[in-house]
Amino acid sequence: MEKLGINPVLIITQIINFLIVFFLLTKLLYKPILAMLEKRKQQVVATNELQVHLEQEKGHMQEEKKKIIKEPKSVSNK
């Protein structure tokens, strides 16, 4: 392999370095980022559910408002 310009010790060293960096990045960056993204996904789902609930509540309140406005008001003359 020396004739091809390839140093086996250097290749093994580079492979070991790559595996160390890969392991560290996986433990220190990849997993925490995935956890953060999952938490954010859950927050978005909860927010969307709350938005749907509030839209329904808004519709009910508007119906109540219309009913109250249409009801004849009793004015007492004293």
Cα(6)–Cα(29) distance, integer angstroms:
33
Chain segment 49-69, per-residue pLDDT in tens: 999 999 999 999 999 998 888
Residue 15, pLDDT > 70, answer yes
Q: What is the DSSP string of 15-43?
A: HHHHHHHHHHHIIIIIHHHHHHHHHHHHH
Contacts of 1 (CB under 8 A, 6+ apart): 7, 8
Q: What's the predicted TM-score (pTM) here?
A: 0.56
Q: DSSP 3-state assignment of 76?
A: coil
What is the pLDDT, as a whole number, of residue 48?
96
Distance CA 48, CA 43 (A): 9
